[in-house]
Structure 1
Amino acid sequence: MFKFLFLSLSLLTAQQYAYAKDDITERNYDDVIFKNTRLSSNQTEYLTIPTELAHAYGSDSTTLHHLDKDLAELVRLRIGQIDQCNYCVILHTKQTETLGISPSKVASLSTWPQSNLFSGKEKAALKYAESLSTLQHNEIQADYDQLLTLKFTSPEIEELTNVVILMDVWSRIFMAQGKISEPPMN
C-alpha cells in the first residue's frame, strides 16, 4: 500500500511540475513581462480547478478534438478583448501568430461583424461567444440556433462553450490578481 501511495504522489508531483514548467497563466515574453499587483498567493489552492480547465481548454490544450484550433484561438482573443484582460490579449495574440492566423484577421477581430475576413461559421461562433460571455440572455438562443444551422456539432458547441467560460474565469482571476504588463528589465 505504501508503494502505491508513494507512486501516486510521485506521479502527481511530476504532473504538477510539468504544468508549472510552462504554466500558460504565468508566461512572459522577450518584449513584455507580467506581474501581479494584488492577490499573489494561492494558499487556499483556489487556482487548482481553473488551472485544470486551462490545460483542458486553453491554447496549449491537447484535449480539444472537435473545435477548430484557429477558431478556438480567435474566440479566446475576442473574449480577452471584451473582458479587457491585458494578459489574455497579449498571450492570445501571440498564440494566433504561432498558429499562422492572418495578421489582418487578428487586427480586425474587434470589428468582426464588419469584416469579410471571417467565414460564416467563425462569425456565428464569435457571436455566440460574445452573447455567452456578456450574458445576453435575449440573444443566446438565436446565437445557439445559428450554430446548429451552420452544422456545428454538439461536441464543437460544448468545446466552444468551455473555451468562453474558461476565458471569463481567467479574466476575472487576473483582475483580482492585478496582473499588469510592463517592459522587461534590461
Structure 2
Amino acid sequence: MKKREFLKDVDTKAFKVMLGFEQYLSESSLNRIHAELIKIRVSQINGCTYCMDKHIQDALAYGEDARRIFVLSHWRDTPFFSEEEQAILALTEQITRISVHGVTDEVYNRALLLLGQQYLTEVIMGIVAMNAWNRIGITTGREPQ
C-alpha cells in the first residue's frame, strides 16, 4: 500500500474533532480498563491492527491481566469477565456490527440495568469513538510501530 497521510497531518481541525471525543471520555467516569476492553474488542472486530497493538499496550500498562486480553474475542466462553464487562462487550459487538441486527433490546436493557444510564452513555460514546478511530486508522493505513 502506498503511504497515506494521517488525519492530523492533513487537517488539524478534523483531528481536533476526534480529540474532542477523547477529552470527553477522559473527563467521564468510564473506567480505564473498561475503556481499553472496548477499544481492543472494537479493533478486533474491525481489523485495525494499529489500534489493537496500541490499546493492548495501554491495557497492560493500566494493569489489565494479559490472560483476559488473550481470550477477549471469546469472552462469552470464559469466567474472566464480570457481569458489567459482559454487558459492555455485548453492547460493543452489537454497536460495532450495527448493520447486522442493530442493537437488541435485550443487550441494551441488560447494559442499562447493570451500568445505569450515565455510565451506559459513556460506554456508548467510547464505542462510537473507537469505531471512528478504527475507520481513520484503517483508511489511512496506520500500522503498528
The TM-score bracket by the shorter chain reads 0.7 to 0.9
Higher helix share: 2
Higher strand share: 1
- The structural deviation recorded for 1:64 is 2.0
Does 1:164 find its partner at 2:124? Answer: no
Partner of 2:3: 37
Measured in 2, the distance between the counterparts of 1:54 and 1:68 equals 14
1:16-95 pair list within 5 angstroms: 37-40=3-6, 41-43=9-11, 45-57=13-25, 61=26, 63-65=27-29, 67-95=30-58
Q: Is the 8 A contact 2:4 2:140 kept in 1?
A: yes
Aligned residues: 141
Of residues 70-79 and 130-139 in structure 1, the stretch that sits farther from structure 2 once superposed is 130-139
Instruction: State which structure, 1 or 2, has the greater radius of gyration over its C-alpha atoms.
Output: 1
Does 1:179 find its partner at 2:145? Answer: no
Does 1:100 find its partner at 2:63? Answer: yes
Normalised by the length of structure 1, the TM-score is 0.69
Which whole-Å deviations, capped at 9, do the CAs of 1:22-50 have from their partners, x for residues lacking one?
A: xxxxxxxxxxxxxx921334247322211
Normalised by the length of structure 2, the TM-score is 0.87
Partner of 1:119: 82
Q: 1:105 to 1:43 in 2, by over 3 A?
A: closer
Question: Structure 1 runs of 4+ off > 3 angstroms?
Answer: 136-139
The share of aligned pairs that are identical, in percent, is 24
Measured in 1, the distance between the counterparts of 2:46 and 2:62 equals 23
List alignment gaps of at least 5 residues for structure 2: none
Does 1:147 find its partner at 2:111? Answer: yes
Partner of 1:130: 93
The 3-state SS of whatever aligns with 2:143 is: strand
Measured in 1, the distance between the counterparts of 2:81 and 2:117 equals 22
List alignment gaps of at least 5 residues for structure 1: 1-35
